[in-house]
Chains A and B, each alone.
Chain A
Amino acid sequence: MNLEDIKKPENIVYRKTPLLTDAIMHYCPGCSHGTVHKIIAEVIDEMGIQDKTIAISPVGCSVFAYNYIDVDWQEAAHGRAPALATATKRLNPDKYVFTYQGDGDLASIGTAEIIHACSRGENIVVIFINNGIYGMTGGQMAPTTLLGMKTATTPYGRDAKLNGFPMVIAPMIAQLDGTAFITRQAVHTAAAARKAKAAIRKAFEYSMKDIGLSFVEIVATCNSGWKMSPVEANKWMVENMFAKYPLGDIKDVLK
């Protein structure tokens, strides 16, 4: 059987979800953002909730997320997405509301907003992309940058005395009574991406159960910021990022 005989519409087992727009993503080659956008879009498509979904994008590389996933979007000021999501959900409790935030947005300038949204138990989903660096502004240190990691503002490597320690968000918010589901995932392999997608789906489902906030951290790469090829960056992430930010569920109030 030759390839052209296989490439028939009835034999398609995987193709781009219609919930992704045709816009070419501005992300660098191999950037995790694209993969995470895709699995979120697939979850919304598979759950059939496009008309009930309100998404909130951050400031950072994913500020333009609204160009790619075909749902209604609000673009928040830096770090404030959980505040927007809080009001959006409280005023529209029948909608699925999620924020999409990077580590600078969520773990630095937006710490007050995320912690209080968690503490209040807002029935929203937070997708947290942790790649240990500020991508859009050109690779500066993020709160989650690992010790020793070189960035534009830690050119000799992050030094705890000078720059403080990496901030580990997920276990911290797991202690807050308002959180329902907290998990840490990755998208560097197909198996990981499938698990991450299942976690995102669960988070969306939980957001309608009135049990509190669901938080999906994605340990991700920024190969441009890390100054590596995409494949090297994935390997470096497995060896270094996973040691500080191990994958797996951290809290699930329904288990």
Chain B
Amino acid sequence: MAFKGAIEVDTQRCKGCSVCVENCPTKSIGLSRSVNNKGYHYAEMIADTCIGCSNCAVVCPDSVITVYRVKIQ
């Protein structure tokens, strides 16, 4: 059984702390080049390797990440 995942980041609430980046086992997350209204580089998916494990969302202090996951054959 394998999973494929995706995350959605509430970019305006993200403070760009990078804790999610460090916690991603598949290196799917990075910080954006552009900044949000507060001036933070926000988290975003940088690779199509997300497995929907939710680690990023669990450690996110600002609870800005929603995680999706589907089973793939």
Chain A residues proximal to chain B, CB less than 8 Å = 1, 3, 5-8, 11-17, 20, 24-25, 27-35, 38, 187-190, 193-194, 229-231, 234
Question: In this assembly, does B35 line the interface, its C-beta being within 8 Å of a C-beta of chain A?
Answer: no
List 21 A-B residue pairs with CB atoms under 8 Å apart, sorted by A's residue number: A6-B6, A6-B69, A7-B6, A12-B67, A13-B5, A13-B54, A14-B57, A14-B58, A15-B66, A16-B66, A17-B63, A20-B63, A24-B62, A30-B19, A34-B62, A34-B63, A35-B61, A188-B59, A189-B23, A193-B59, A231-B18
Contacts of A13 in B (CB 8 A): 5, 52, 54, 67-69
The CA of A6 and the CA of B58, in the complex, are separated in Å by: 19
Interface size on B, residues (CB 8 A): 36
Contacts of A29 in B (CB 8 A): 15-17, 40, 61
Closest chain B residue to A17 by CB distance? B63
Q: Cα distance A20–B13 when bound, in Å?
A: 14
Contact across chains for B61 and A14 when beta carbons are under 8 A apart: no
Q: How far is the CB of A188 from chain B (nearest CB, A)?
A: 7
> Is B72 a contact partner of A1 (Cβ separation < 8 A)?
yes
Residues of A within 8 Å of B56, CB to CB, are: 190
Bound Cα distance from A12 to B72, whole angstroms: 15
On whether the beta carbons of B6 and A32 are closer than 8 Å, the reply is no
A230 to B59, CA, bound (A): 12
Q: Which residue of A lies closest to B58 (CB)?
A: A190
A6 touching B68 by the CB < 8 A rule? yes
Q: Which of B6, B21, B68 has the most CB of A within 10 A?
A: B68
Instruction: Bits for B32-46, please: 1 = Cβ < 8 Å to A, else 0.
Output: 000000001000010
Binding site for A on B (CB under 8 A): 4-6, 8, 13, 15-19, 21-23, 40, 45, 48, 52-70, 72
Query: Closest residue of chain A to B53, judged by CB?
Result: A190
Closest 3 CB pairs of A and B: A34-B61, A30-B17, A29-B15
Q: How far is the CA of A17 from the CA of B45 in the complex (A)?
A: 22
Given known A29-B40, A190-B55, contact A3–B66 (CB-CB < 8 A): no
Minimum Cβ distance to chain A for residue B6 (Å)? 4
C-alpha spacing A11/B41, complex, angstroms: 27
Min distance, Cβ A114 to any Cβ of chain B, angstroms: 25
Q: Check A230/B19 contact, CB under 8 A, given A3-B45, A16-B63, A34-B63.
A: yes
Closest chain B residue to A28 by CB distance?
Answer: B15
Evaluate contact between B66 and A12: CB separation under 8 angstroms. yes
Specify which chain A residues have a CB less than 8 angstroms from the CB of B70 in the assembled complex. 1, 5-6, 11
A166 to chain B, nearest CB (A): 25
Contact A35 B60 (CB under 8 A): yes
Question: A30-B17, A35-B60 are known contacts. Are A14 and B6 too (CB-CB below 8 A)?
Answer: no
Report the nearest B residue to A33, measured CB to CB.
Answer: B61
